[in-house]
């Protein structure tokens, strides 16, 4: 969807990651892997891991607090709190509810969305629509993931890839001078849902001793197939949204891709014809933080001065669902 005269802006951003750093060398001690394999195949050197008792809502609330401070707003000013997560603290109620309480956003309606790594971008699109329709003024969109809670630390093909963290943006009524969310393209392919999933623990296959001993509550993925799909889908989403917003790749100051694998990022950049210095990369420090990855990257890009007011960014995400998308925003 495209807005010809955008009414919504990304007003501020924030992030929160746990203090504990887990290096590739730490994994060498628990599974049959090496720093060399992880670095060359994924680009990851280290990732963060929650401390005992630190949960998805805690990171979400901290990222939200930083974001509201960055905007100079009070918690009471938030109309809607959208939390994207694949690692809800409880299956009921939504983790957004506890986040709302921790943040003290007394006037906000709060709910979760579940679209894996693409969830935060889906949330931004939803926020844009809620504001453009005139329903709301300030929507806090948070991606928060405690991936360490759903990883199988005996499976070297998945456990080394992910990290914990949260990122957020305040999407607000605004615009003018060309600023705003120019357009978003979102797609889903549910026929391939089982390429990346957690087979047990939900209503279809509740947790039992057997599912637990078969380690079916943990993330399973077909890495090679996901890799191919990620490259194709992110390239296609970027082309769609560039077309629909009447932009060329040369108009983009910075591409902010989902951080799943440096080889995926490089392949998408090369297909789009964009040089590495216009692509933001921090996968080396955080691994794949699922739906927190783009807002963390956006916040770091802003704080490092890589982008500022008036910069045109292209964000693109891909993940379980399969669900993917891309968005062009003038900050
Ligand atoms: N250490 C050492 N060896 C390993 C490891 C490891 N951590 N993991 C796998 N290997 C081995 C495999 O067992 C295999 O060995 P074999 O040839 O003896 O069978 C060999 O390495 C090659 O395995 P591949 O799966 O072909 O390796 P590939 O180059 O495809 O890299 C990876 C695997 C990193 C998972 C890659 O496919 C990938 O990044 N895929 C996309 C993952 C992704 O983006 N997922 C998340 C989407 S986001 C979301 O929604 C949460």
Q: How is residue 239 written in tokens?
A: 């082309």
Final residue belonging to a domain, choices 176, 201, 230: 176
Is 240 in contact with 186 (CB distance < 8 Å)?
no
Please give the pLDDT value at position 5: 67
- 288 as an active site residue: the answer is yes
**One domain, residues 171 and 215:** no
With the most atoms of ligand 1 within 8 angstroms of its CB, the residue from 151, 152, 190, 224 to mutate is 224
Residue 231 lies in a domain: yes
For residue 60, give the H/E element and its range. Answer: helix 56-71
Please give the pLDDT value at position 6: 67
**One domain, residues 195 and 255:** yes
**One domain, residues 171 and 185:** no
Characterize the bridge pairing of strands 180-188 and 165-173: unpaired
Rounded CA separation 218/200 (Å) = 8
Final residue belonging to a domain, choices 152, 176, 200: 176
Q: Is the peptide bond before 93 cis (omega within 30 degrees of 0)?
A: yes
Residue 207 lies in a domain: yes
Residue 1 lies in a domain: no
**One domain, residues 228 and 276:** yes
**One domain, residues 147 and 231:** no
Measured CA distances, 195 to 15, 120, 153, 230, 287 (Å):
29, 20, 19, 12, 20
**One domain, residues 161 and 63:** yes
Is 175 in contact with 6 (CB distance < 8 Å)?
yes
**One domain, residues 23 and 95:** yes
Domain that holds residue 219: 181-330
**One domain, residues 190 and 103:** no
Ligand 1 within 6 A of 234 CB?
no
**One domain, residues 315 and 187:** yes
Q: How is residue 250 written in tokens?
A: 């040369």
Residue 2 lies in a domain: no
Q: Which residues pair with 139 in a beta bridge?
A: 80, 171
Rounded CA separation 229/217 (Å) = 24
User: Residue 127 phi/psi, 5° resolution?
Assistant: -60, -45
**One domain, residues 51 and 145:** yes
Rounded CA separation 23/319 (Å) = 24
CATH number at residue 237: 3.40.47.10
- For atom 27 of ligand 1, the residue with the nearest CA is 224
Rounded CA separation 249/276 (Å) = 13
Among 230, 219, 211, 195, which residue's Cα sits nearest to residue 86? 219
pTM across the whole model: 0.96
Is 140 in contact with 8 (CB distance < 8 Å)?
no
Ligand 1 within 6 A of 261 CB?
yes
- For atom 44 of ligand 1, the residue with the nearest CA is 260
Rounded CA separation 109/58 (Å) = 18
Final residue belonging to a domain, choices 141, 176, 211: 176
Rounded CA separation 249/259 (Å) = 20
- 117 as an active site residue: the answer is yes
Q: Residues in the chain with pLDDT < 70?
A: 1-6
**One domain, residues 220 and 111:** no
Is 325 in contact with 121 (CB distance < 8 Å)?
yes
Ligand 1 within 6 A of 37 CB?
yes
**Number of separate domains in the chain:** 2
Q: What is the dihedral of CA 252, 123, 58, 321, to 10 degrees?
A: -100
Please give the pLDDT value at position 303: 98
**One domain, residues 145 and 265:** no
Q: Which of 105, 117, 159, 233 is catalytic?
A: 117
Q: Is the peptide bond before 105 cis (omega within 30 degrees of 0)?
A: no
Q: Count CB neighbours of 203 within 10 A.
A: 6
């Amino acid at each position: 969807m495209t807005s010809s005269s955008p009414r919504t802006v990304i007003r501020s951003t924030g992030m929160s990651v746990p203090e504990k750093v887990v290096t590739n060398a730490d994994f060498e001690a628990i599974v049959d892997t090496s720093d060399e394999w992880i670095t060359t195949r994924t680009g990851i050197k280290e990732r963060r891991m929650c401390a005992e008792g630190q949960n998805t809502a805690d990171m979400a609330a901290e990222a939200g607090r930083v974001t509201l401070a960055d905007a100079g707003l009070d918690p009471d000013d938030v109309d809607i709190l959208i939390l994207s997560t694949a690692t809800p603290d409880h299956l009921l109620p939504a983790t957004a509810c506890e986040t709302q309480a921790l943040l003290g956003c007394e006037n906000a309606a709060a709910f979760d969305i579940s679209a894996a790594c693409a969830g935060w971008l889906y949330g931004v699109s939803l926020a844009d629509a809620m504001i453009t329709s005139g329903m709301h003024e300030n929507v806090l969109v948070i991606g928060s993931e405690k991936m360490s809670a759903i990883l199988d630390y005996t499976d070297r093909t998945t456990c080394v890839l992910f990290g914990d963290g949260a990122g957020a943006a305040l999407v607000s009524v605004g615009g003018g001078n060309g600023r705003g969310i120019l357009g978003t393209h979102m797609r889903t392919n549910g026929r391939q849902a089982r390429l990346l999933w957690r087979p047990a623990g939900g209503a279809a296959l509740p947790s039992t001793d057997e599912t637990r001993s078969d380690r079916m509550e943990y993330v399973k993925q077909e890495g090679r197939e996901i890799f191919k799909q990620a490259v194709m889908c992110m390239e296609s989403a970027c082309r769609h949204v560039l077309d629909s917003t009447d932009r060329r790749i040369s108009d983009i100051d910075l591409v902010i891709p989902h951080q799943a694998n440096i080889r995926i990022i490089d392949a998408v950049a090369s297909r789009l014809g964009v040089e590495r210095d216009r692509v933001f990369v921090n996968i080396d420090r955080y691994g794949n933080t699922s739906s927190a990855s783009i807002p963390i990257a956006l916040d770091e890009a802003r704080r490092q001065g890589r982008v500022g007011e008036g910069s045109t960014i292209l964000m693109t995400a891909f993940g379980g669902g399969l669900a993917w998308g891309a968005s062009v925003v003038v900050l």
